[in-house]
Structure formats: structure tokens, C-alpha cells
């Protein structure tokens, strides 16, 4: 008798994490379904870049519409649901606080309620965020650290994390939150500062005379490699009991260091090509956020391999290859 393939539903499959997760699950033999707000209009560019678009079944779903969520889950009948959707930019959340809060908190509660009604045995992963901790200062955040969010995005993510915890305890759902620290890849859109830096550096190396405009370059973040982080998501749904986990490298570097390494990778001096614009400073921005993934190491056998200067160099080299390929078309 042929074993039935496990079926996964990825909400937000068109994003960086959604695309890498889809690739991972396909490689593990899953049947993969993905959603976006309008599947007919979405380009699913990340899926095409990874050459897996034909293997992922896509549907339209509005996370803020309970009927839409209920309909999709009833149709797909997934074994696992990964919630990676919702407004994902900290900076944009100050301009769109209502959209940010609704897409994250209402979206999460609609998924949890639908699971409770359709099939309480579905395993649910929720994308949390290190931004919930605010400024960790000299300390490392772990699963017992208090949330002190300092942006509309972080407040929404904190609320969603608490929703998941409540449904796990009150209704016995297999629901877990991965509190992921910053993680990057070539699939990041340019509205994220890391991709903005990398893309601009490569254009300058190819002859552009533009200046890279940035806000606070002294902030420090714990940056990891996105394909490794989606592996942790999958592992979270594979253990016997659901728990929340921090996923981080345990190391931080300043945005200034990130910037310096990116330019030096292509033999450029960042100070000659960068302009600090006070208008790009956020109303509130944690100085340093760093985490310990000891629990993930112990229970999930997970640990990061790519970090620090290696991560930045890998991003620049990948972007440069893509830029040169485009220029020679």
C-alpha cells in the first residue's frame, strides 16, 4: 500500500520564507498548496526563481475574511498549515498600522478558529518575530523573555503569539510559534534594508553613480540565512508536543558592519557611496536584538551554519550574479 503524501498549506507562499519552505517540503515528498490574496494576479516570482511554481498548487485566500479561510482549509484538507502571511515590514507598519494589525492578528485567529472547526488534528505553525522583544541590550532573548514591542508590527506579532499559546492550552491544538530573528536571502524584496544595500552595492559596482540612502546604521541585529530558518519551521511541527522556539544565530552585527562588508566584497568603500538621511529614521527602533536558540538545538537538533560576514558575502555574490546575467541578456 502506497503511503499518502502529507499535505501542507502555506499561507503567504509568494514571500521569501513561503517559497523556501515550499521547496523544502516538496523535497521531502509533501503535496504543497499555497495561498495569496489574489492567486490569479500574483506573479509568484519567488516560486519561479526556485523553479518550483509548477509543483505548488495555489489558491486565493483573504486571511482577514473568516469565510475565505474556512473555505480554503476545508477544500485542501491539510495535515500542516504554515502561517507566513500578513504585512511583514516593520517600517511600513508605522504608515499602515491598521492593515498591519488586522492582517497579522485577525489572520491568525481566523486560521486557529478554522482549524478548531474543520480538523483539530491539523498541525499549525505561526511566524512570530524577534521584534516582539524590543531592545534586548546586552542580554540574549530566550523563550522566557518578556515581550516589549516598539512598533505596530511587533505589537501585532506579540498578540498573534499569545493567541497561538491560548489555543494550544485552551483547545489542545497542535499550534506552535517560531520566534524567528532576522533572516535573509536573495529572495528578499528591496523594501527590506538588507536587500536595498546589497542591490545598490551591485548596481554601483556595475557603473551606477547613485548614492545609497540609509537611516540609522548603528542598530545591531541577529541575521541568519532564510533557507536554514524554514527548516526549523518544519522541524517544529515534527516533534510530539507543540512548543514555541526561538530561531537565531546568537550573534549580532551592526548595520554599519553589514554595509561595510557588502561594499568590501566588491572592493568598494561604503563611505564614498552612502548618505545618512535623517528622514529615514523610524519613530522607534530597538538598538540591539539578539537571541539564543539553545532550545531549538536541544529539541529540534537545529543550528545555524551561515551567519556574519559569510552571510553578507553570499548575498552580494548571488545578487551580482543575477545582475550580470540581466545585463548580458
Instruction: Give the contacts of 63 (CB within 8 A, at least 6 positions apart).
Output: 11, 69, 85, 86, 103, 106, 107, 110, 111
- For the record, the C-alpha cell of 258 comes out as 553589514
- The three cell numbers locating residue 13: 507562499
Residue 44's region, left for phi above 0, alpha for psi from -120 to 50, else beta, is left
Distance CA 194, CA 188 (A): 8
**Would you call 186 helix, strand, or coil by DSSP?**
coil
Q: Kindly report the number of other CB atoms within 10 A of residue 310's CB atom.
A: 12
Contacts with 310 (C-beta within 8 Å, 6 or more apart), sequence order: none
Please spell the DSSP secondary structure of 272-286, one letter per residue: GTEEE-GGG--SS--
How many helices (DSSP H) and strands (DSSP E) are in the chain? 12, 14
Cβ pair 9, 82 in contact under 8 A: yes
Which among 21, 46, 32 has a CA at the least distance from the CA of 230?
21
The 8-class DSSP code of residue 104 comes to I
Residues ≥6 apart with Cβ < 8 Å to 98: none
| Concatenated DSSP letters of 28-74 | TT-EEEEEETTTTT---HHHHHTT-GGGSEEEE--TT-HHHHHHHHH
- Partners of 59 in the β-ladder: 35
Catalytic residues: 129, 131, 153
Amino acid at each position: 500500500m502506497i503511503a499518502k503524501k502529507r499535505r501542507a498549506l502555506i499561507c503567504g507562499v509568494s514571500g521569501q520564507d513561503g517559497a523556501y519552505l515550499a521547496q523544502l517540503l516538496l523535497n521531502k515528498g509533501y503535496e504543497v498548496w499555497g495561498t495569496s490574496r489574489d492567486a490569479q494576479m500574483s506573479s509568484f516570482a519567488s516560486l519561479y526563481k526556485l523553479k518550483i511554481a509548477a509543483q505548488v498548487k495555489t489558491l486565493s485566500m483573504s486571511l482577514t475574511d473568516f469565510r475565505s479561510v474556512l473555505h480554503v482549509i476545508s477544500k485542501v484538507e491539510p495535515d500542516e498549515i504554515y502561517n507566513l502571511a500578513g504585512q511583514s515590514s516593520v517600517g511600513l507598519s508605522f504608515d499602515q498600522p491598521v492593515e498591519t494589525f488586522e492582517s497579522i492578528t485577525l489572520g491568525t485567529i481566523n486560521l486557529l478558529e478554522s482549524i478548531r472547526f474543520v480538523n483539530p488534528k491539523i498541525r499549525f505553525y505561526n511566524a512570530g518575530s524577534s521584534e516582539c522583544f524590543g531592545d534586548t541590550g546586552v542580554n540574549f532573548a530566550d523563550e522566557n523573555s518578556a515581550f516589549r514591542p516598539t512598533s505596530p508590527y511587533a505589537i501585532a506579532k506579540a498578540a498573534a503569539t499569545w493567541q497561538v499559546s491560548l489555543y494550544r492550552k485552551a483547545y489542545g491544538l497542535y499550534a506552535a510559534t517560531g520566534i524567528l530573528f532576522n533572516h535573509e536571502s536573495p529572495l528578499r524584496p528591496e523594501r527590506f534594508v538588507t536587500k536595498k544595500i546589497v542591490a545598490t552595492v551591485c548596481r554601483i559596482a556595475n557603473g551606477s553613480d547613485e548614492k545609497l540612502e540609509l537611516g540609522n546604521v548603528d542598530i545591531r541585529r541577529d541575521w541568519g540565512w532564510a533557507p536554514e530558518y524554514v527548516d526549523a519551521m518544519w522541524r517544529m511541527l515534527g516533534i510530539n508536543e507543540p512548543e514555541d522556539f526561538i530561531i537565531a544565530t546568537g550573534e549580532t552585527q551592526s548595520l554599519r558592519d553589514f554595509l561595510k562588508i557588502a561594499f568590501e566584497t566588491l572592493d568598494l568603500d561604503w563611505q564614498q557611496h552612502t548618505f545618512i538621511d535623517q528622514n529615514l529614521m523610524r519613530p522607534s527602533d530597538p538598538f540591539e536584538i539578539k537571541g539564543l536558540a539553545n532550545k531549538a538545538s536541544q529539541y529540534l537538533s537545529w543550528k545555524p551554519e551561515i551567519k556574519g560576514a559569510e552571510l553578507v558575502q553570499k548575498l552580494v555574490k548571488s545578487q551580482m550574479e543575477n545582475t550580470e546575467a540581466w545585463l548580458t541578456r
